[in-house]
C-alpha cells in the first residue's frame, strides 16, 4: 500500500458542490493532488487543478496515480471506480454514501481480482496528521502522535480526535472504513497495518455496537495484535435495540421500521472484554483509557 505524502491522488467527481473545499483542505495537509476527473468538463481548472473527461486521459497526462478519491453520486460510483481500476489505480477512497449494494458487490469482486484496496463506501478517508490526507476528515481536529484510529463511524471520528488532541494525544494514522453496509477493507486489514506501523503505539477502534465487523475485530485483536487496543462503541447506551449505521440511519430507524439485530450490544462488549480491549462508555473517557492501556501493556511486558 502507498498511503503517504508522496502518493499521487486523483479526484473523481471533482465538480461535487464541495469539491473545491475538499481539494484545498487536502492540499493544506500536504497531499499531492495531480488531477480531477469530471465528464464533460475536460480542459477546465478547479482552482489550479486540471480537469479531464476520463481517468485514462488524466493518467496519460500526469503519469501513474496511486489513489483515487471518489465523490461521484452513489449511482455513478461503480462506473467511476471501475474506470479508475482499468486505468491502473489500485487504491480507492469512496466518500459517497448510499452506493447500491449490488454495485458494491460487483466492485468488490473486481477489486479482489485486481488486488485493489478500497475504503468505503461512505468513508471519510485516511489521514496522517500534518503530512497527508485523502478524504473529508477535518485536519483542524488532528495532531501528530502515537494513537492509530480505525473508525466505523462518521463525523464522530473528527469529534473524538479533537478530544484526544486537546488532551495532548495525537494520532499516527486515521482510517475511516465507511458507514455503508458493504465496505471494501475491514478492521482486520487495518489493525495489521497499525500493528506494523512504527509511529503507532496504541490503537483506538471506533465502532458500532450491533455490527459483526466489530466482533471479528475483537477476535483478530485477541489472536494477532500485540499493541494495546481501546474501543468506543457509538450508540452503546441507546435504549431502542436497533441496528446502528451513520447518523442518517440512526434517525431513520428511530422513526420507521426495525432492522434485524445482527448482534446485541452485550455480545459486542463481551467480545471486546474477552480480547482484553477496554471499552469506554463515553468519548470523554478515551483520554483516560488510552494512556492507561499503554501503561498496562508496558507493565505487562516488563
Contacts of 196 (CB under 8 A, 6+ apart): none
Return phi, psi of residue 277, to 5°. Answer: -105, 110
Does residue 8 have a pLDDT over 90?
A: yes
287: CB partners within 8 A, 6+ apart: 163, 164, 167, 169
- What are the tens digits of pLDDT across the range 86-125? 999 999 999 999 999 999 999 999 999 999 999 999 999 9
Neighbours of 18 (CB within 10 A): 11
pTM of the model: 0.90
Least confident of 194-203, 247-256, 277-286: 247-256
CA distances from 37 to 15, 21, 135 (A): 8, 16, 16
The winner for highest mean pLDDT among 58-67, 238-247, 264-273, 287-296 is: 58-67
pLDDT band at 66 (very low <50, low <70, confident <90, very high): very high
What pLDDT, in 10s, does the model give residues 163-182?
999 999 999 999 999 998 88
To the nearest whole percent, how much of the chain has pLDDT over 90? 75
Kindly give the pairing relationship between strand 132-135 and strand 125-128: antiparallel
- pLDDT tens digits for 11-46? 999 998 888 899 999 999 999 999 999 999 999 999
Burial grade of 69 (CB within 10 A; 0-12, 13-18, 19 or more): buried
Position 209 scores a pLDDT of: 79
C-alpha dihedral sign at 198, 32, 170, 212: negative
What residue ranges do the domains of the chain occupy?
8-119, 138-301
Q: What is the dihedral of CA 39, 85, 23, 197, to 10 degrees?
A: 180
- C-alpha grid cell, residue 179: 458507514
Angstrom distance (rounded) from CA 46 to CA 48: 6
State residue 161's pLDDT score: 97
Confidence of residue 298 (pLDDT cuts 50, 70, 90): low
Only one residue has cell 440511519, namely: 249
Please state which CATH number belongs to domain 8-119.
3.40.50.720
Choose which CATH entry (3.40.50.261, 3.90.1010.10, 3.90.380.10, 3.40.50.300) describes domain 138-301. 3.40.50.261
- Sorted by sequence, the CB contacts under 8 Å of residue 107 that are 6+ apart come out as 77, 78, 81, 82, 118, 184
DSSP code string of 234-294: TTTT-SS-----SHHHHHHHHHS-----SS-HHHHHHHHHHTT--EESSGGGHHHHHHHHH
Domains 8-119 and 138-301 are alike in CATH topology = yes
> Residue 258 pLDDT > 70, yes or no?
no
Q: Each residue of 269-289: pLDDT tens digit?
A: 889 999 999 999 999 999 999
Amino acid at each position: 500500500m502507498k498511503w503517504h505524502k508522496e502518493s499521487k491522488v486523483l479526484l473523481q467527481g471533482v465538480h461535487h458542490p464541495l469539491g473545491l473545499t475538499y481539494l484545498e483542505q487536502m492540499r493544506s495537509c500536504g497531499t499531492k493532488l495531480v488531477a480531477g476527473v469530471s465528464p464533460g468538463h475536460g480542459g477546465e481548472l478547479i482552482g489550479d487543478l486540471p480537469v479531464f473527461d476520463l481517468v485514462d486521459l488524466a493518467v496519460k497526462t500526469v503519469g501513474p496515480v496511486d489513489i483515487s478519491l471518489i465523490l461521484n453520486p452513489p449511482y455513478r460510483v461503480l462506473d467511476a471506480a471501475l474506470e479508475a481500476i482499468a486505468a491502473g489505480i489500485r487504491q480507492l477512497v469512496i466518500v459517497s454514501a448510499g452506493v447500491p449494494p449490488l454495485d458494491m458487490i460487483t466492485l468488490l469482486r473486481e477489486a479482489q481480482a485486481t488486488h485493489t484496496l478500497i475504503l468505503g463506501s461512505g468513508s471519510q478517508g485516511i489521514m496522517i496528521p500534518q503530512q497527508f490526507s485523502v478524504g473529508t476528515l477535518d485536519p483542524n481536529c488532528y495532531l501528530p502522535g502515537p494513537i492509530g484510529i480505525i473508525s466505523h463511524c462518521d463525523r464522530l471520528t473528527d469529534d473524538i480526535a479533537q478530544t484526544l488532541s486537546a488532551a495532548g494525544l495525537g494520532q499516527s494514522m486515521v482510517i475511516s472504513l465507511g458507514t455503508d453496509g458493504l465496505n471494501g477493507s475491514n478492521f482486520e486489514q487495518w489493525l495489521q497495518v497499525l500493528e506494523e506501523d512504527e509511529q503507532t503505539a496504541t490503537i483506538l477502534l471506533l465502532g458500532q455496537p450491533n455490527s459483526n465487523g466489530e466482533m471479528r475485530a475483537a477476535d483478530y485483536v485477541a489472536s494477532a495484535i500485540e499493541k494495546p487496543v481501546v474501543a468506543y462503541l457509538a450508540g452503546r447506551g441507546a435504549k431502542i435495540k436497533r441496528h446502528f449505521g451513520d447518523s442518517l440511519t440512526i434517525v431513520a430507524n428511530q422513526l420507521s421500521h426495525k432492522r434485524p439485530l445482527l448482534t446485541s450490544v452485550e455480545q459486542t462488549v463481551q467480545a471486546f472484554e474477552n480480547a482484553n480491549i477496554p471499552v469506554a462508555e463515553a468519548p470523554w473517557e478515551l483520554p483516560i483509557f488510552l494512556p492507561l492501556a499503554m501503561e498496562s501493556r508496558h507493565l505487562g511486558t516488563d
